[in-house]
Amino acid sequence: MEKQDHAAVQAVLTGDKEAYGALVERHSARLFRVAFRMTGNEADAEDVVQDALLRGYQKLAGFESRSDFGTWIYRIAVRCALDRMSRSRRHEGARVAEEADPEAGEMQLADGAAGPERLLLSGEMGAMEELALRSLTPLERAAFVLRHMEEQGCAEIGAALGMEPNAAKQAVFRAVEKMRRRLAPLRVMR
């Protein structure tokens, strides 16, 4: 597949725009998956995929032939998703503050009257985990998603997020610590 990708890249660079279609069809699903995991939103993930592929096309002349196109466009998608998460966080900052109390390290539940059993049964647990994930900074969430869900190594996470591998490792560690702290109340329900 890598050879096919390189051939398509060369074709695009020599003026065959249609050749990029093959690259788009080959890598879109993977980009959507990571974009969704990072943004947590289907519409945002769709936009991230298109942004990443558009940005990739514009930067294609700088693509080094010895690199893997899949890895290259994946990193671009991660950056696009991170940008979108940062913008969303700035936009939703006030609302998030209403939902959680960072000082107390506690999370407000949607329905205080509901018991633990009901929460478990109704799938609210998943929602809480999603909220815990949202309480992370965009960088921590990105690092956690790439490490925990995408199973990327710290070196690759650092490359994707534009930071040193050790900084990526620290971001993963901070994310895990925050997640565990946020979800500690659920531990007693299990």
Partner 1 sequence: MKHLSEEELVAHFYGEAADRSDPGGSDPDGSGEDRSAEKGSIGRHLNACAECAERLAALRSDLAALHFAEPPARDEGYGKQVWAALKDRLPAYEAEKARWARIGVWRGLGYAAACALVVMVAFFAGRAWEHRHQPQTAAAKNPQAQKQVILVVLGDHLDRSERLLVELKHADAGSAELVSPMREEARSLLAANQVCRQDARQMGDPALGAALDRLDSLLNELANEPGGLDGAAIARLQNEMNGEGLLFEVRVLRSRMPEVQTGRSTRTNGGTI
Q: Is 176 exposed, middle or buried (0-12, 13-18, 19+ CB in 10 A)?
A: middle
- Helices 2-13 and 19-39 sit at what angle, rounded to 10 degrees? 110
> CB-wise, 106 or 177, nearer to partner 1?
177
Which CB sits closer to partner 1, 17 or 90?
A: 17
Tell me the closest approach of the beta carbon of residue 99 to partner 1, in angstroms. Answer: 18
Smallest distance, partner 1 to C-beta of residue 86, A:
20
* Amino acid at position 80, single letter: C
Structure tokens, 190: 């299990």
- Quick one: tokens of 157? 């996470």
Residue for token digits 């003026």? Answer: 15
Binding positions for partner 1, rule: CB under 8 A: 12-17, 20-21, 24-29, 32-33, 36-37, 40, 42, 45, 49-50, 53-54, 57, 60-61, 125-126, 129-130, 133, 147-149, 153-155, 158, 164-166, 169-170, 172-173, 176-177, 179-180, 183, 186-187, 190
- Rg (the chain; Cα; Å): 19
As given in the structure block, the two tokens for residue 62 are: 């700088």
Q: Shortest Cβ distance from residue 168 to partner 1 (Å)? A: 8
Looking at the Cβ atoms of 45 and 90, the one nearer to partner 1 is 45
Half-sphere exposure of 77 (CA within 13 A, CB side): 29
Give the residue among 89, 93, 74, 87 at the shortest CA–CA distance from 27: 74
Indicate the residue among 62 and 90 with the shorter CB distance to partner 1.
62
Nearer to partner 1, 89 or 181 (CB): 181
The minimum distance between CB 128 and partner 1, in angstroms, equals 10
Least separation in angstroms between residue 85's CB and partner 1 is 15
